[in-house]
Amino acid sequence: MKFSINVYLLFLGVFLFVTLISALNTNSSNYTTDIILSRGGTNTSSDNYITSAIIGTITGEISSSLYQQYIGFFFGELAVSAGNTAPDTPPPSINSTAGNNYANQNLNCFATITDSNSDLLNVTVEWYKNSVVILAIDYNNSYSSGTSFNSVLYSGNTSVEDVWKCGVRLYDGQDYSEWGNSSTLTIVAETAEEEPPVTGGSTGGGGGGVVVSKLLRLKVIPESINIPGAVGINRSEKISLENIGDSVLNVEINLVNLQGIVSFRETNLSLKIGETKVLEYRVTPPNEPGIYAGKIVFSTGNEKLEVPFALNVRSKTSLFDISIDIPDEYKSIRIGEKVKGQITLIQAGLKEEVDVSVVYVIKDFEGEVYFDKTETIMVFDQKIYEYFFPTQDLLPGDYLIGVEVIYAGGVATASHQFKVEDVGEKRSYFILIVELFLVICIFITLIFLVKKYKKKKKPL
């Protein structure tokens, strides 16, 4: 029995010795196994060790350049790499607020955003009008995978016969998803009571649309610009110019109160008859959060076409989404009338009661501030309310109402355009209608009296 055990130990020793000797010159370009037990030797070389477990302690992909030999076992020091996959391509949908596709309704671009690694996600949304990117928005709010995401394009940007769609792309901090694009949506009418009007000329509204110069030679899309921004994050935007006149146009681009914020690659260009050019320009937000307003001016000889521009700059880290909208009846007012703004505050991330300072402002597109008031309110999750902005000191012209939310750790901003019209012009128009009505009444009365008189004079 003792002899048998000694023989067994002798054979085991020989086996191990042969195994270790055979490993002295081991060379492999690809080890693939579940468990590796190898002394390796001084000449061991491998380009890619792939294993599920090494001595039950190390899992994942192990780089051969970081292998260390220790008591006959391989150790992957700091070499574990789990790998990352890009977020899932989102499938966005588009609709109007009430589903009627009217110009006085907001548009929604919505999707459920997901990532197979369950990483936190940032979202970029591009809004296309007639196949041209009009607006690009970055939502850097670290959304959880599985979140139902929605981006809103406010009604001031839409006009009858516009064809809209949206694109959505996700970013998990390492990789981008592919762009997901919605189907198209066509704006069919201004409101339910109106038939689609004949197109042409200029359109109103707080943003978007088409502006045409008075001499009908240059058309610009969009007619006004109101975009979000964040400190330290530059972005590119596009604007379309079309020569609708009967001669070549030489266009010069100038900026009002936007130096250092907006920059074009070319500031002088030529447009042939019927030619359209889409210009890309760079937006560089200032280092301080706030609402920045100015104008992009397109000059063609004696013509000047001004496009109002507003940039709503938030802090780099934002715990709130904010928006402000103006009902249609308040987008154009008389001098002294108040403007009603509907304000929406949404907490991003952790939901808890928090007091914030809200600053209400009115300014023009030269940067002049006409109204500035601050109040403190409490917000939990979401708050929607109305605020009436006084305008008694405003002359006729274009203005912005804006709101800034200031809280511990950040600032969020939003704004919307409105117009003050000349009361004298409206009053004169009203008086003219009244006078015309009185003339018609007098004329009808005279005809009636003449007929009555003739009837009395008729001989028997």
Question: Residue 310 pLDDT > 60, yes or no?
Answer: yes
- Which has more confidence, 394 or 65? 394
Q: Are 322 and 417 part of one and the same domain? A: yes
Residue 74: exposed, middle, or buried by beta-carbon count in 10 A (0-12, 13-18, 19+)? buried
Report whether 291 contacts 310 (CB < 8 A).
yes
At 347, the pLDDT band (50, 70, 90 cuts) reads confident
Answer yes or no: is 407 within a domain.
Answer: yes
Beta bridge partners of 388: 340
Q: Are 322 and 391 part of one and the same domain? A: yes
Report whether 270 contacts 251 (CB < 8 A).
yes
- Which three-class secondary structure state does DSSP give residue 430? helix
Last residue of a domain, one of 24, 41, 76: 76
Answer yes or no: is 361 within a domain.
Answer: yes
- Which has more confidence, 58 or 151? 151
Span of 19-28, 101-110, 347-356, 365-374 with lowest mean pLDDT: 19-28
At 42, the pLDDT band (50, 70, 90 cuts) reads very low
Residue-level pLDDT at 386? 93
Question: Residue 61 pLDDT > 60, yes or no?
Answer: no
- Which has more confidence, 39 or 181? 181
Neighbours of 39 (CB within 10 A): 18
Answer yes or no: is 234 within a domain.
Answer: no
Last residue of a domain, one of 56, 76, 96: 76
Report whether 243 contacts 273 (CB < 8 A).
yes
Angular region, 209: left φ>0, alpha ψ -120 to 50, beta rest: left
Last residue of a domain, one of 48, 76, 104: 76
At 9, the pLDDT band (50, 70, 90 cuts) reads low
Residue 342: CATH number of its domain: 2.60.40.3880
**Residues 329-339: what's their mean pLDDT?**
91
Q: Are 409 and 444 part of one and the same domain? A: no
Q: Are 414 and 350 part of one and the same domain? A: yes
Q: Are 460 and 407 part of one and the same domain? A: no
Residue-level pLDDT at 417? 94
Q: Are 456 and 415 part of one and the same domain? A: no
Torsion, Cα of 94, 98, 101, 105 (10° steps): -100
Residue-level pLDDT at 190? 80
Q: What is the mean pLDDT of the chain?
A: 78
Answer yes or no: is 306 within a domain.
Answer: no
Q: Are 354 and 411 part of one and the same domain? A: yes
Q: Are 69 and 32 part of one and the same domain? A: yes
Answer yes or no: is 381 within a domain.
Answer: yes
Residue-level pLDDT at 105? 85
For strand 249-256 and strand 290-300, is the pairing parallel, antiparallel, or unpaired?
antiparallel
Answer yes or no: is 62 within a domain.
Answer: yes
Q: Which helix (H) or strand (E) holds 167?
A: strand 163-171
User: What amino acid occupies position 271?
Assistant: L
Structural domain count of the chain = 3
Residue-level pLDDT at 457? 61
Q: Which helix (H) or strand (E) holds 9?
A: helix 2-22
Q: Are 460 and 365 part of one and the same domain? A: no
Answer yes or no: is 179 within a domain.
Answer: no
Tens of pLDDT, residues 159-193: 888 999 999 999 999 999 999 999 999 998 887 54
Q: Are 405 and 435 part of one and the same domain? A: no
Answer yes or no: is 83 within a domain.
Answer: no
Tens of pLDDT, residues 435-456: 788 888 888 888 877 777 666 6
* Structural domain boundaries enclosing 407: 317-421
Q: Look up residue 160 and give its two tokens.
A: 């009858």
Q: Are 447 and 394 part of one and the same domain? A: no
Question: Residue 32 pLDDT > 80, yes or no?
Answer: no
Q: Are 363 and 443 part of one and the same domain? A: no
At 420, the pLDDT band (50, 70, 90 cuts) reads very high
